[in-house]
């Protein structure tokens, strides 16, 4: 795996971080079995956590009209509500590395799952718009820190399987996203038709996700020292790492932001594009579901392919080409080839798991990945905020979809360019060190 920079033995040693009690007793014969158990527990924890990283958003989208009516929200405030997630991801995600250094990544992810469960459970019942927004922010804070730390945990426990584990995590995330979008309304109807119950029910999965992280948190102190074999020189590099001095970090942040922009535009506006072209409302919703469902299998495949390549640029270009083809279809024949355009846009949206994979590959250790992940995701989500709003403004003032689709296609070009730069076979530690050496007098 290019850019990993860590020994393949780190995966088995990393599992020891969850086996503190047995290790503390010094029972040498029990270590392999305990480590295997701990590794399986981490895998379960990653999958359950990933399932919870989008239902708070997509379940609300499915019931937004009912929530607006129930809380008396204005259209402007409801529009603001749809912009809150990327803002929270940017603000709270930047704090994740600091929390991880202080408490350890498993403890922060565990707390994130608790925050998600609490926020989802209480937000429908606080009685007003302010309480709803505050509880939503609590849940989004849990999502934000977990977003950032998932690549860190993958790097720490599975340094030789970044592609397969990122694929598993991304597939679970895509499944949670599409599942919440598809079943929230039927579940709400089955539970009596109350939007409050329909939103609160998603807290159940978050509660379940807390369980596997509890033993990992409890055993952190005894096993942390053996969690990852990192050379002393790499640790010194990561401690002094100024991530903003890395060209690759900036390229990855821009790539993350532009792919998030495309994804939010697709989720927010694609059904309307089809409906305005004469596609029935029900079919337009199914087309969006197809677009989102493409991420389930491809999110597992693409990271595995990416880690086998010395340069991820070809994958970036292939996904971008699918996006451009999909946008061209939406422009010239939105109704005639609707299913093809939905599939192409769904493939293009799989730039998200590719971005997560590159985060894991462009740093040498989990500490470096933590800094890179926080920077790339926080900066990227800030970049993504204006896109969906600008599409709405262009649509309203032009009276059609020509200009918005042109904007979407135009943004895909720099996405491909910065993705190719981010996909080069190098690490941010080496890049920053080389820049510092070049800046020294007499270098």
Which of 169, 196, 229 is the last residue in one of the domains?
229
For residues 265 and 194, state if they share a domain: no
Q: Quick one: 209 and 140 in the same domain? A: yes
Q: Are residues 162 and 264 in the same domain?
A: no
pTM (2 d.p.): 0.80
- Give me the pLDDT at residue 14, please: 37
Check whether residue 170 and residue 249 sit in a common domain.
Answer: no
Cα–Cα dist 270/98, whole Å: 38
Q: How far is CA 210 from CA 45, 121, 205, in A?
A: 8, 14, 9
Residues 154, 245: one domain?
Answer: no
Total structural domains within the chain:
2
Among 229, 258, 291, residue at a domain's last position: 229
Task: Let me know if residue 443 belongs to a domain.
Answer: no
Q: Is residue 274 part of a domain?
A: yes
| Same structural domain, 235 and 378 | yes
Picking from 229, 247, 267, the residue at the C-terminal end of a domain is 229
Assess whether 219 and 307 both reside in one domain.
Answer: no
**CA angle (165 as vertex; 164, 169 as ends), nearest 5:** 120
State the CATH number of the domain containing residue 89. Answer: 1.20.1250.20
Q: Is residue 23 part of a domain?
A: yes
Tell me, yes or no, whether 5 lies in a domain. yes
Cα separations in angstroms, 153 against 146, 306, 325: 10, 19, 36
* Same domain? 216 vs 238: no
> Running along the chain, 443 residues long, what does each successive block of 10 average in pLDDT?
36 37 40 70 94 90 82 73 82 90 92 97 90 93 94 89 90 88 87 93 96 84 49 65 90 96 87 90 82 86 92 97 97 95 95 94 88 93 89 88 95 98 93 81 61
273 and 293 housed in the same domain: yes
Q: Based on the fold, state whether residues 188 and 295 are members of the same structural domain.
A: no
Which residue range forms the structural domain that includes residue 181? Answer: 1-229
């Amino acid at each position: 795996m290019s850019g990993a920079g860590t020994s393949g033995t780190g995966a088995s040693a990393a599992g020891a971080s969850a086996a503190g009690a047995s290790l503390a007793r010094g029972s040498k014969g029990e270590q392999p079995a305990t480590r295997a158990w701990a590794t399986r527990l981490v895998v379960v924890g990653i999958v359950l956590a990933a399932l919870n990283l989008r239902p708070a958003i997509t379940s609300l989208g499915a019931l937004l009209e009912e929530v607006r009516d129930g809380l008396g929200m204005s259209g402007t405030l409801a529009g603001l509500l749809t912009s809150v997630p990327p803002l929270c991801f940017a603000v709270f995600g930047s704090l994740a590395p600091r929390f991880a250094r202080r408490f350890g990544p498993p403890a922060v992810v565990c707390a994130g799952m608790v925050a998600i469960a609490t926020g989802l459970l209480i937000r429908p019942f606080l009685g007003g718009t302010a309480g709803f927004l505050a509880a939503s922010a609590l849940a989004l804070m849990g999502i934000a820190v977990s977003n950032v730390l998932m690549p860190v945990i993958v790097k720490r426990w599975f340094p030789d399987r970044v592609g397969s584990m990122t694929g598993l995590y991304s597939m679970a995330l895509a499944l949670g996203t599409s599942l919440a979008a598809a079943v929230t309304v039927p579940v709400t109807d089955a539970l009596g038709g109350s939007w409050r119950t329909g939103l609160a029910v998603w807290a159940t999965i978050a509660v379940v996700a807390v369980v596997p992280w509890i033993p990992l948190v409890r055993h952190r102190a005894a096993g942390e020292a053996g969690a990852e074999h990192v050379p002393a020189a790499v640790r010194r590099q990561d401690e002094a790492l100024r991530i903003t001095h890395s060209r690759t970090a900036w390229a990855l942040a821009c790539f993350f932001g532009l792919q998030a922009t495309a994804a939010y535009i697709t989720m927010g506006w694609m059904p309307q594009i089809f409906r305005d072209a004469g596609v029935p409302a029900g079919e337009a919703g199914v087309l969006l579901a197809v677009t989102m469902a493409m991420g389930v299998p491809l999110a597992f495949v693409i990271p595995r392919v990416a880690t086998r390549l010395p340069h991820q640029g070809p994958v970036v270009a292939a996904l971008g080409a699918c996006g451009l083809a999909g946008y061209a279809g939406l422009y010239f024949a939105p109704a005639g080839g609707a299913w093809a355009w939905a599939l192409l846009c769904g493939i293009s949206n799989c730039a998200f798991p590719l971005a997560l994979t590159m985060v894991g590959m462009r740093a040498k250790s989990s500490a470096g990945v933590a800094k890179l992940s926080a920077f790339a995701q926080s900066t990227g989500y800030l970049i993504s905020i204006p896109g969906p709003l600008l599409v709405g403004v262009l649509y309203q003032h032009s009276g059609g979809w020509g200009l918005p689709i042109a904007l979407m296609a135009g943004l895909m070009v720099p996405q491909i360019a910065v993705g190719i730069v981010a996909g080069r076979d190098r690490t941010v530690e080496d890049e920053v060190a080389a820049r510092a050496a070049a800046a020294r007098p007499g270098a």
